[in-house]
Chain A
Amino acid sequence: MRTVNLLRILTSLVLATGLALASFSSLAHEKEAHATGKSGRVPMPVLNINTDKGDKCVQPEDIMRRDHMKFILHQRDKTMHEGIRTTQYSLKNCIDCHADVKTGSVLGKDGFCESCHRYAAVQLDCFECHSALRDASVLKNGAATAPPSAVRALNVSQKKASEPAKGMKP
């Protein structure tokens, strides 16, 4: 095939791919927090985090977003086979902070784990067996205790983390 033709084909392919990617990403970065099926898209994750225990997760956010499974998998093997029950990476500890303030669970429409996993379309297997509820000692009468004194709403878009998104509690 002649080089000129090949170049033309390649260029058009690259342009087409670029256009497609650009359009998809612009759609994804819209500001609606709860698109409840009006446009048919998966709702953006809801992240109301209980900051009673502190403002930070056990690892920085960007590391946790990518690598939280690595910590969980390593911890589970140590706990199961060696009985090491350190709390830093234990699932109970995660749930204690991240469980929704109203439902006390990390599952459900407003659940920390489920809403993000649903958005990312990644199967969530843990809660087939594990309880998704905040530790019963914190829970009274099956409901969460009084809302934590400090709740930081996390906006999933790339805007500044301190700016609350529409519809979320400040």
Chain B
Amino acid sequence: MSMNRRQFLGLSGAAVAAATLAPGLRLIELAQARSPEEATTSLHRWGLLIDSSKCADGCTSCVSACADENGIQSHSRPATDAQWIRKVTLKDKQSGHVQTLPLMCQHCAEPPCVDVCPTGASFKRADGIVLVDKHICIGCRYCMMACPYKARSFIHEVTTGQKAHAPRGKGTVESCTLCVHKVDRGDGSTACADACKKEGHQAILFGDLKDPASEISKRLASQPSTQLRADLKLNTGVRYQGI
């Protein structure tokens, strides 16, 4: 067949484009549980939806569950003890309305802690979970200065009794891992969300923000929600309703 140069270039360009795009078009839907050999991808984005109106005053099940799951022990020194999640009680200055909610690492899409870490120990995984690689953390605590939610804790003492799935040690910084070990195992939820459900409050919902069929996405699409410190435009993975 006879083809002029222009046609040839156009055809090859189209072929190259098709070859580049093709791998991105996945025809098979992904199962929730990833097999251990597969790397995480950005096809998922894990997050939480917290409904403050369902959160019960005085209940700290999420906090105890997190501590239990991750081997966090109290040293009776609240100023330096690590806390991955905490309950906060708020009162509106104008109306006097009192409410309570749990607060943890917000797993931002643009995390300031990742930006400031000098060694890159604070990083965001492809699926949106923000973690500390404690192998390269030097304990400078700059990420703690930078976090707008004061979500990070520094381990101030020698640590023992760690859980095998949650290594933690003196001199490094840590924060809520969104129960990454459970996520990778395919449990489909976090310890805090499970505990809240067990208590019957169901204030915390875990899910895939990128999956339109997930319950979290459906609720976010149908009901109003906010991010904490939304003006910072960090695009948090944890969203709140009722504040």
Contact = CB atoms under 8 A, between A and B. Distances in A.
A31 to B, nearest CB: 36
The 4 lowest CB-CB distance pairs between A and B, nearest first, are A129-B169, A82-B39, A128-B169, A83-B40
B30 to A, nearest CB: 14
Interface stretch (B109-117, B120-128, B192-200): B120-128
Interface stretch (A42-50, A84-92, A150-158): A84-92
Interface in B149-193: 159, 161-164, 167-172, 180, 184
Interface residues of B, number: 27
A83 B163 contact: no
Interface in B25-47: 34, 36-40
A86 B184 contact: no
A124 to B, nearest CB: 12
Contact of B134 (A87, A92, A129, A133): A129
Given A86-B37, A129-B162, A131-B164, A81 B169 contact: no
A86 to B, nearest CB: 5
Interface string A83-120: 11111000010010000000000000000000000000
Interface in B123-142: 123, 125-127, 131, 133-135
B131 A130 contact: no
Nearest to A83: B40
Contacts of A131: 161-164, 167
A34 interface: no
B239 to A, nearest CB: 23
B164 A135 contact: yes
Contact of A82 (B126, B164, B171, B172): B126
A131 B164 CA distance: 5
Contacts of B171: 128
25 contacts: A76-B135, A81-B123, A81-B125, A83-B40, A83-B180, A83-B184, A84-B37, A84-B39, A85-B36, A86-B36, A87-B36, A128-B169, A129-B134, A129-B162, A129-B167, A129-B168, A129-B172, A130-B164, A130-B167, A131-B161, A131-B163, A131-B164, A133-B164, A135-B164, A136-B164
Nearest to A130: B167
A131 B181 CA distance: 15
A80 interface: yes
Interface in A55-94: 76, 78, 80-87, 92
Contacts of A95: 164
A81 B161 CA distance: 24
Nearest to B120: A81
Contacts of B161: 131
A133 B162 CA distance: 9
Given A83-B39, A83-B184, A84-B39, 16 more contacts: A80-B133, A81-B125, A81-B133, A82-B39, A82-B125, A85-B36, A92-B164, A95-B164, A128-B159, A128-B171, A129-B159, A129-B167, A129-B168, A129-B169, A131-B163, A133-B164
